Structure 1
Amino acid sequence: MSDITNSELDRRTLLRRAAAVGIAATPAVGMLSACVGGGEDDKTEQATGTKSAENPLGIDPKAPIEIVIFDGGLGTKYATDVDTPMYSKKWPESKVTYSATQQIATTIKPRLNSGDSPDMINNSGSDLMDFGAIVKAGQAADLTDLFAAPSFDIEGKTVAETLVPGAVEQGTYDTDSGRKPFAVNYSFTVFGLYYNKKLFDKNGWTAPTTWADFTALCDKIKAAGITPFGYAGANASYYMVRAILTSAGKIGTEQVLKDIDNLKPGAWQAPAIKQAAEAWGQIGAKYINKSFLGLKHTEVQLQQNQDKLAIYPCGSWLENEQAASITPNFEYAVMPYPSVTGSDQLPATAINAAAGEVYFASAKGKNPQGGKEYLRVMLSKAAALEFTKLTKSLTVVAGAADGLTISPGLTSANDMLSKAGKDVFMGYLFDTWYKKLDDASREAANTLMFNGGDAQKFCDAMEKASQEVAKDSSIAKFTRV
């Protein structure tokens, strides 16, 4: 991405916004089994070393580590060009084995169950693993010692003390042995409707704040021969789930989404959910390209870069993911989801933003302490700064990107975040807690948007799936407050 602005934004303001999200989730689960697969993994000899000021996690300096990174919107250069070299410089005798994949669950789950797991794993993408099940099975390492360890490069502070408020809490779970952190939610993402600012400026189109304005704009875009709205049904239907539920959260507040996370009976039948589904169902019926159902995310995103599609629901990783396809005539910008009704309880400026992109160390791997040490490197100020430069995404390391000149898309996201003020909400967690419910939501969203499904059918399908999960005693349950 070469089209970089010279604006210097208040990075502390942006990072403080992270404190408004990600702090309300308090999962509760018993550690019901040692490992989903059981067996030989319990016999794995794990590398350990002697703790010291230079080696606070007590790693074996000569032991190799293996990391696996999701190859998606954030790319992989931050791992190959920043984190791994930093780790190797600190521990030159420790060989780092690296791989990247878009099929995390397919690739990693069998290895977790067999006791041959990598030491640090980036669990993300459409094929992500059920992290609730991973915690339940004792396959994620307790990160208490990581967060209590000295920062890799910020003197006088622990790792936890260098992070935005809520960063540790979001990956913390209640277990039979107490509350413990198991995940690092590293990237801070701003969600909204992304568009080409230059195309909008050329046509005199402005970002809508009401649903009537939104449909009127879609009519103008359609008349110009451009598909007004779309997403990829093949592998990115969760983008649409977030759109529907963000609108529902603005209609009825985040409590509507908390009820969904808590598997509350009737949560998916709430008026706010149905109103949001009705509104978006109309967009699907009138303004979407039905061929998008069979396309992958990058294929639809390329159509937007070619001005064949105007408005795309996504997160702030989008600009980096499409960097190679951006032409001089394209400049990313983002707008909040418009108000659906005249009585939405949150204002039109309210947005969904949250810490995400889960990284964890494997409890059953050969070198879990090495996996944690790799995470300590990632949570350094230097690594976080380079991550933002490479990905055009923020991290949970407070102040790491202060003074950094950023790209048009992230500049727009920052402006939207600033205008949202206190009206920033995390959204929902069921997609990482309950894989079955996540899968059902993706299917229901596609049916609503592409196959003529109506709002009540959407609500009914999701209510049924939710209660099936609630009644399934084999699925660990989590509680959000």
Structure 2
Amino acid sequence: MTEIFAKAEVDRRTLLRRAAAVGLMATPAVGMLSACVGGGDDDKTQQQSTGTKSAENPLGIDPKAGVEIIIFNGGLGTAYSTDVDTPLFNKKWPDAKVTFSQTEQISTVVQPRINAGTPPDMINNSGSNLMDFGAIVKAGQAADLTDLFAAPSWDVSGKTVADTLVPGAVEQGSYDGKPFAMNYSFTVFGLWYNKKLFDSKGWTVPTTWADFTALCDKIHAAGITPFGFAGANASYYMVRALLTSAAKIGTEQALKDIDNLKPGAWTADPIKKAAAAWGEIGNKYINKTFLGLKHTEVQLQQNQDKLAFYPCGSWLENEQAKDTPPTFEYAVAAYPSVTTSDQLPATAINAAAGEIYFAAAKGKNPQGGKEYIRAMLSKEAALGFTKLTKSLTVVSGAADGQTISPGLTSANDLLGKAGKDVFMGYLFDTWYKKLDDESRAAANDLMFKGGDADKFCQRMEAASQAVAKDSSVTKFTRS
């Protein structure tokens, strides 16, 4: 057994974003595409490197052409790229120099280069400053990855790249039926807690809302804040918690209606019930000072056993690696059932592929960018990623037989218990920035300023319909 022990030294994870959804279809654009994404005039197009396709070179790259990549430096760090992916790529293509750079400000650094027609060949579009990927696709700036997914796997004989991925991985980055993104990191979302603390106190993870509030009372009596999140920069964690509960009440259709800007989606019964339940948690069990704190500050309080439950994704364990004491062992629980008539079971969870990687259509070497992604989708690279980041990937079975960290083990257990009841969640946060911004502000008001569920729903409904009526916003639909 190989023990996964490496801890990537990272500053923070500002945001895990997902690309497009399974079955994503772009509707005809209404109005002009966002002016921030240039279409790439012919006189701006770089001369592109090409090679001869063969069994050993299925994407037809020029084996001597350099490949420029840029990676977002967040909670996952960049060591997986410099220490795993690039050496693996260069072992096969020793004359293809990889030029690496990293940034915490993807849009600020990359968008001007896209507009100028001189983008890097492969881009990790992530973080709170990520680019509008839907606009990039519509502007023809992202390369079609059909040939990548149809190519032979890097290290699994007899299978294509697509064959080696978890179900839905290709479709998740598809627009109008064509794949333009590779969503690499597979994240499990839920309520994170210290298993050692819970074991020592004899606290049982709740499955019903009544059990949840009863446990919160016990936790509060023990002098610990029962539940919390950072209002300053991580209120979207709370948005996800609330909408996960709504999906369990009324199935994922409630979230699809929100994504599709359907009138009445935000005031529908599942959203109202979820908002009311979580508003009660905010009124009774949250520390109001968390409104002004950043996520790392709140996460540190949890590591110090000042906070019991924290809503987050499975990147949390790695992000807090340097601050996690020996007395703390990460574990994750599914969000409890809100009602006795929830349409999804208590074990149902939200889990999805995230972290957008794409090849730039107007780069000097887009095929080289795709080949770099093919290397990333090898089992060897995927296992290296998991070792360094404590995060799973979309490469099926890449971590099988490995001893993995406590938090990731717990997340795997949660996936097993959920079975078929794993749903992707919502997509409006990557489609419509104004709606995403409003949801964060509304979640903060709900949880820190009174818990008025009706006010939350009405506010979000108004914001949704304002986006729906805005002809300058490119619309997408989800089936």
Under a length normalisation based on structure 1, what TM-score does the superposition of the two structures give? 0.91
What SS does the corresponding residue of 2:361 show, helix, strand or coil?
coil
Q: Which residue of 2 aligns with 1:296?
A: 294
What SS does the corresponding residue of 1:168 show, helix, strand or coil?
helix
Q: Quick one: which amino acid aligns to residue 268 of structure 1?
A: W
What SS does the corresponding residue of 1:94 show, helix, strand or coil?
coil
What SS does the corresponding residue of 1:334 show, helix, strand or coil?
strand
* Cα distance between partner residues in 2 of 1:473 and 1:443: 24
* Cα distance between partner residues in 2 of 1:379 and 1:30: 33
* Cα distance between partner residues in 2 of 1:427 and 1:337: 14
Q: Quick one: which amino acid aligns to residue 48 of structure 1?
A: T
Structure 1 residue runs of 5 or longer lacking an equivalent are 6-21
Q: Which residue of 2 aligns with 1:320?
A: 318
The answer (yes or no) to whether the contact 1:136–1:476 under 8 Å persists in 2 is: no
Please say which of residues 356-365 and 25-34 is displaced more in the overlay: 25-34
Structure 2 residue runs of 5 or longer lacking an equivalent are 6-19
Residue of 81, 89, 92 corresponding to 2:94: 92
Q: Which residue of 2 aligns with 1:185?
A: 183
* Cα distance between partner residues in 1 of 2:3 and 2:155: 31
The sequence identity of aligned pairs, in percent, is 79
Structure 1 residues 432, 25: CA separation in 2 closer, same or farther (over 3 Å shift)?
A: farther
How far did 1:30 drift?
Answer: 5.0
The answer (yes or no) to whether the contact 2:280–2:451 under 8 Å persists in 1 is: no
* Cα distance between partner residues in 1 of 2:233 and 2:23: 27
Q: Which residue of 1 aligns with 2:9?
A: none
**Alignment deviations for residues 382-402 of structure 1 (CA, whole Å, 9 cap, x no partner):** 101111122222111122122
* Cα distance between partner residues in 2 of 1:344 and 1:330: 33
Q: Quick one: which amino acid aligns to residue 166 of structure 2?
A: V
Residue of 418, 427, 430 corresponding to 1:429: 427
How far did 1:77 drift?
Answer: 1.4
Q: Quick one: which amino acid aligns to residue 184 of structure 2?
A: Y
Q: Quick one: which amino acid aligns to residue 454 of structure 1?
A: D
What SS does the corresponding residue of 1:268 show, helix, strand or coil?
coil
Q: Which residue of 1 aligns with 2:166?
A: 164
Residue of 303, 306, 327 corresponding to 1:305: 303
* Cα distance between partner residues in 1 of 2:21 and 2:433: 22
* Cα distance between partner residues in 2 of 1:221 and 1:115: 56
Superposition map of 1:403-442 within 5 A: 403-442=401-440
* Cα distance between partner residues in 2 of 1:39 and 1:139: 8
**Alignment deviations for residues 95-130 of structure 1 (CA, whole Å, 9 cap, x no partner):** 222222222223322322222322211122222222
Q: Which residue of 2 aligns with 1:37?
A: 38
Q: Which residue of 1 aligns with 2:8?
A: none
Please say which of residues 322-331 and 41-50 is displaced more in the overlay: 41-50
Structure 1 residues 268, 23: CA separation in 2 closer, same or farther (over 3 Å shift)?
A: closer
How far did 1:419 drift?
Answer: 1.6
Q: Which residue of 1 aligns with 2:15?
A: none
Residue of 144, 147, 151 corresponding to 2:149: 147
Please say which of residues 222-231 and 373-382 is displaced more in the overlay: 222-231
Matched, 1:362 2:360: yes
Matched, 1:466 2:468: no
The answer (yes or no) to whether the contact 1:126–1:235 under 8 Å persists in 2 is: no
* Cα distance between partner residues in 2 of 1:302 and 1:414: 24
How far did 1:427 drift?
Answer: 1.0
* Cα distance between partner residues in 1 of 2:428 and 2:113: 24
**Alignment deviations for residues 287-342 of structure 1 (CA, whole Å, 9 cap, x no partner):** 22222222222221111111111110011111111111111100011111011112
Structure 1 residues 167, 38: CA separation in 2 closer, same or farther (over 3 Å shift)?
A: closer
What SS does the corresponding residue of 1:340 show, helix, strand or coil?
coil
Under a length normalisation based on structure 2, what TM-score does the superposition of the two structures give? 0.91
Q: Which residue of 1 aligns with 2:11?
A: none
Structure 1 residues 361, 149: CA separation in 2 closer, same or farther (over 3 Å shift)?
A: same
Superposition map of 1:49-64 within 5 A: 49-64=51-66
Structure 1 residues 454, 108: CA separation in 2 closer, same or farther (over 3 Å shift)?
A: farther
How far did 1:26 drift?
Answer: 2.3
Q: Which residue of 2 aligns with 1:135?
A: 137
Superposition map of 1:260-275 within 5 A: 260-275=258-273
Q: Which residue of 1 aligns with 2:17?
A: none
The answer (yes or no) to whether the contact 1:244–1:277 under 8 Å persists in 2 is: yes
Residue of 337, 349, 352 corresponding to 2:350: 352
How far did 1:351 drift?
Answer: 1.0
Matched, 1:475 2:476: no
What SS does the corresponding residue of 1:231 show, helix, strand or coil?
coil
Q: Which residue of 2 aligns with 1:102?
A: 104
* Cα distance between partner residues in 1 of 2:211 and 2:36: 52
* Cα distance between partner residues in 2 of 1:214 and 1:206: 10
- C-alpha root-mean-square deviation of aligned residues, in Å? 2.1
What SS does the corresponding residue of 1:349 show, helix, strand or coil?
coil
* Cα distance between partner residues in 1 of 2:279 and 2:40: 48
Superposition map of 1:241-256 within 5 A: 241-256=239-254
* Cα distance between partner residues in 2 of 1:30 and 1:46: 30
Please say which of residues 195-204 and 151-160 is displaced more in the overlay: 151-160
* Cα distance between partner residues in 2 of 1:272 and 1:116: 46
What SS does the corresponding residue of 2:25 show, helix, strand or coil?
coil
Q: Which residue of 2 aligns with 1:287?
A: 285
The answer (yes or no) to whether the contact 1:35–1:138 under 8 Å persists in 2 is: no
* Cα distance between partner residues in 1 of 2:459 and 2:3: 44
* Cα distance between partner residues in 1 of 2:243 and 2:138: 27
* Cα distance between partner residues in 2 of 1:156 and 1:163: 14
Q: Quick one: which amino acid aligns to residue 109 of structure 1?
A: Q
Structure 1 residues 71, 330: CA separation in 2 closer, same or farther (over 3 Å shift)?
A: same
Please say which of residues 411-420 and 445-454 is displaced more in the overlay: 445-454
Matched, 1:379 2:377: yes
Matched, 1:71 2:51: no
